Amino acid sequence: MLHDLDLADLKSRGLLAFRECLTNYVASDCFTSLTVETRKLKADLAAVKYCLIIKGNRINVRKYESEIDYSADVEKTFERFKQGAVKDYRAKFPIESGMSHVEARILDLVAKLHPEIFLNLDNYCANNRNCLDETISAFDREIQFYIAYLEHIAKIKQAGLKFCYPQIAVTSKKIHNYEGFDLALAYKLISEESPVVCNDFFLKDKERIIVVSGPNQGGKTTFARTFGQLHYIAGLGCPVPGSRAQLFMFDKLLTHFEKEESINNLRGKLQDDLIRIYDILNQATSNSIIVMNEIFFDYHH
């Protein structure tokens, strides 16, 4: 990773700082000693050889005793009789599926044949369980998410929809977004070759609340999701749907969307909604964002 970062012409303050952090970590005594230990252990494991004697449903494992491999000689001898491509009967083991119980048992027996090497492996794992720097570990997870997000929105961009890096307000609560849209719905509609409707919104001066009303299937829930998505995605440092945006750096994003009644709590829908909203208001601060969708909606007397 450090080699690739050294070759890159970095401009971002964050990436420059991360490269410096990584450089210091790689040069540390902890990492250099870990590198030496890892290389030695890999070399020891690569030198492990053993033989399997398979008879019926029984497998014997013993040490390798310089047995001769006649595979190449056999292939050479019968090469003259080859008549075009033939079916390959060799078993192909999936790489990422993990070991079967048979493979695991064979490995246990191999470990008994080479106890010192496998004891060193156990000690290596135990001693270096927490060797990875927390900053590097977090970067590794987060950069994969960020790249996956950029790949995800690339298809949406190709359809002509816009993304931008929003201005982030820490104190001012004036917010706006132009040509915004629901990310999940847009991806679905583009896949179906259907049009995507974009929306603008803004809050200025002392405005703090947006109330959306309208008929069923009019886009109220979609707008509510869009509003929450924009702030959450912006908080992750990712580009957001829209041509231009300014969003507030919230401390909590709290939501209330309609859910089915639970037969376990014996509460009616209205009572359940009131309890959920009470919970939300108890958690909220003056810097929180609350998205409520269809509260006190469709109750019958």
Instruction: Say yes or no to pLDDT of 108 above 60.
Output: yes
pLDDT of residue 144: 93
Dig out the tokens for 31 from the structure: 């990492």
Q: How confident is the model at residue 296 (pLDDT cuts 50, 70, 90)?
A: low
Cα gap 236→168, rounded to integer Å = 11
Distance CA 190, CA 185 (A): 9
**What CATH number is given for 138-292 in this structure?**
3.40.50.300
Whose tokens are 């190709």? That residue is 158
Q: What is the reported pLDDT for 301? A: 44
Contact (Cβ atoms closer than 8 angstroms) between residue 280 and residue 244:
no
pLDDT tens digit string along 145-164?
999 999 999 999 999 999 99
| Every domain of the chain and the residues it spans | 2-66+97-127, 138-292
Give SS3 for 290: strand
- The pLDDT tens digits for 200-236 are 999 999 999 999 988 888 889 999 999 999 999 999 9
What pLDDT does 263 receive?
55
Give first-to-last CA distance, the chain, whole Å.
Answer: 64
